[in-house]
Amino acid sequence: MSKLPENAQVSQFISKDQNSLTDSQVEILTALENLNKEAPVIAKKLENNLRDFQAYANELFASQIPEDLMDRKDELLGIFNRTLVERTATLADELSATAQKKESMLFNGLLVSYAVKILEGILEFEKKIESVFPGSSEKIIKAASNALTALVATHFPTIAMAMKASGIMEKAESFLKIDNLEKTVKNLKTKIATIEQDQKLANIYKNGMEIGQIAEITSIPTQSIAKLDLDASSLKSIKSNLTPESNAASFLQEASKAVEIMPNNEKNLVDKLTAIKEAIHSSINNGGLSLDQSKKITQAIDNRFEEVKKNLQPILKSGASFFEKVEVQQKTASMIVKVTKDALDELNKDPNKTRLNEAIIQNVAQIVKETLQGNIMEVMKQAAKSPSTARELGLNNAIKVNLDKLASQQKSEAIIKR
């Protein structure tokens, strides 16, 4: 007859003589004990995820605050911090302190209670926003959706463990009673049900759980996946093709790098273009040209930057797919290099200074690549290996033709540099 492992913590909750347990009952209890052994690892992961959230949350929310509410940005961030960021900081510290006590974080309900508190924070944030901004709550929640989705994703492993434990306990209800865990799991299910029935939060929760699973498989930061702005259906489809070593995982890694370099609001777009323009000025001013030539060339480039900005603007379009944004990003990057080349060719026609022009253009191309363009060649290479995942991110034939052309151009520029 099967027996429980020695010193199994689950033994203290058994309501019958252990010697009378059947093999199937021992198997059920062993599964729960094994889950309990996993709890410290899940707790540490949750602590790390919550600390990561503190580092990126404010910027992620602030970057999406609507223009007509920017005058109340500090007030919005104050609510966000009090209800969520400060809460996650407290929970992370509590997780660290609890881990030092070597208690069963699963059986005493503590680990699951942290998931409950996170969901309570999300509900409190919504309630406060509805109270202070009654006419704008929907668009504010939407602006916070990437941050909230990433927060939900951070505790996916904890919720998954709680649901698994709940399923096991249901099978053992006739001979096992773990009051604290049962009570906390019940509370968790109530909070989840409340969120799933909430019009503003239901999709955020659903997407967050899918992202949490993808992050577990790929080790991509949850906030980077959230920024891809995929719905639950697309996330679920992507997840179905995913293993840590799969082509889909490699492609998502490249996509997550690409999305991080994209401007995500008007201010970020303007700041990015300003930084590029200033870097181009520096390259030209230090490129060996005369002061008069440098001034005329930089002025000619400046005169074209409003056109450049207009070209990049669609990257901020609500609902645009990842690859639609990539196409805008790449076209604008190529445009900036061409604007620089046109100005140099027009205003520095001295054949003896051709090499100076080429050196400046190559330098500008590198600036643009690092600041805006990213590595399109690698994105397209990985997309070709995972076409179904690429389609979920918006890749179609027309975009593919354009991006392949731009990737080929980038490759040619790289060869010239060598």
Residues 6+ apart with CB under 8 A from 335: 307, 308, 311
Residue-level pLDDT at 19? 84
Residue-level pLDDT at 418? 46
> 370: which DSSP letter?
I
Residue 318 phi, psi (nearest 5): -65, 130
Distance CA 395, CA 388 (A): 9
- 220 pLDDT tier (thresholds 50, 70, 90): very high
> 16: which DSSP letter?
S
16 or 336, greater pLDDT: 336
Distance CA 11, CA 9 (A): 5
What percentage of residues in the chain have a pLDDT greater than 70? 97
- 407 pLDDT tier (thresholds 50, 70, 90): confident
Distance CA 409, CA 133 (A): 49
Q: What is the DSSP string of 42-109?
A: HHHHHHHHHHHHHHHHHHHHHTT--GGGGGGHHHHHHHHIIIIIHHHHHHHHHHHHHHHTT--TTTTS
Residue 333 has pLDDT above 70, yes or no: yes
Residues 6+ apart with CB under 8 A from 124: 83
Find the length of the chain.
Answer: 418
Place of tokens 């273009």: 273
Residue-level pLDDT at 414? 54
- Read off the pLDDT of each residue in 134-160 and give the average, rounded to a whole number: 94
- Read off the pLDDT of each residue in 170-177 and give the average, rounded to a whole number: 92
- Structure token pair of residue 108: 């005493």
Residue 410 has pLDDT above 70, yes or no: no
Place of tokens 């200033």: 278
- 1 pLDDT tier (thresholds 50, 70, 90): low
pLDDT digits (tens, 9 = 90+) for 343-392: 988 877 777 667 888 889 999 999 999 999 988 889 999 999 999 999 99
Using alpha carbons, list the distances in angstroms from residue 398 to 22, 317, 323, 389. 63, 19, 11, 17
Least confident of 32-46, 64-78, 321-335, 342-356: 342-356
| Strand partners of residue 176 | 14
Q: What is the DSSP string of 221-271?
A: -HHHHHTT---HHHHHHHHHT--TTSHHHHHHHHHHHHHHHS--SHHHHHH
What mean pLDDT, rounded, does the chain reach?
A: 91
Distance CA 239, CA 68 (A): 37
Distance CA 325, CA 334 (A): 14
Using alpha carbons, list the distances in angstroms from residue 397 to 139, 290, 318, 384. 33, 46, 22, 12
- Read off the pLDDT of each residue in 332-344 and give the average, rounded to a whole number: 93
Q: What number of CA atoms fall less than 13 Å from residue 80's CA on the CB side?
A: 26
Residue-level pLDDT at 38? 94
- Read off the pLDDT of each residue in 40-60 and give the average, rounded to a whole number: 94
pLDDT digits (tens, 9 = 90+) for 232-260: 999 999 998 799 999 999 999 999 999 99
- Structure token pair of residue 153: 């994703």
* Residues 110/187, Cβ–Cβ less than 8 Å: no
Residue-level pLDDT at 408? 76
